[in-house]
Amino acid sequence: MQMARYRRSKGSEQPLMMGFPAILLTTTGAKSGQARTVPLGGFPDGPDAWLVVASAGGGPRHPGWFINMAKHPDQIWMEVGAHKFQVRAESLQGDARAQALARIAAIAPRYGKYQEKTDREIPIVRLTPRDGAGQLVEQGA
């Protein structure tokens, strides 16, 4: 239902879900090989980049979409508002990760608390358009 609601918005602006900016992320299943789409908090990080948090709500394992990205890094798509485009994923480390998490937690405080619930380091992933920042593919294309 969340994906249908997101796609109905069709605006050029990034929709909000649960009070923070959201995206739809499509990855290829690590085992199934099938496309999998999930709604995520997608926090703008400059004009052509977004940050996503592989929190799984502070659970003990990485979410499936994160594992799928690692298995198929060349098959990642993102929807922002009415635009869908292929992205490159970079897992942030060290100070860059800590600073990104602080920026995210300032917008959506729940993300800052997830790390306290788990022993694993929660990945912060920076998504950028693949092969040219301005080449957006309209939804349905």
Give 31-51 pLDDT, tens digit per residue.
999 999 999 999 999 889 999
Residue 117 is given by DSSP the state G
Cα–Cα dist 14/64, whole Å: 24
Question: Do strands 124-129 and 83-91 pair parallel, antiparallel, or not at all (unpaired)?
Answer: antiparallel
Mean pLDDT of 94-119: 93
CATH of 2-131, one of 3.30.2180.10, 1.20.1740.10, 3.30.470.20, 2.30.110.10: 2.30.110.10
pTM above 0.95? no
Give 109-139 pLDDT, tens digit per residue.
999 899 999 999 999 999 999 875 444 443 3
Give 72-83 pLDDT, tens digit per residue.
999 999 998 778
Question: Which residues, 6 or more positions from 140, have their beta carbon under 8 angstroms from its beta carbon?
Answer: none
The closest of 4, 27, 28, 35 to 17, measured between CA atoms, is 4
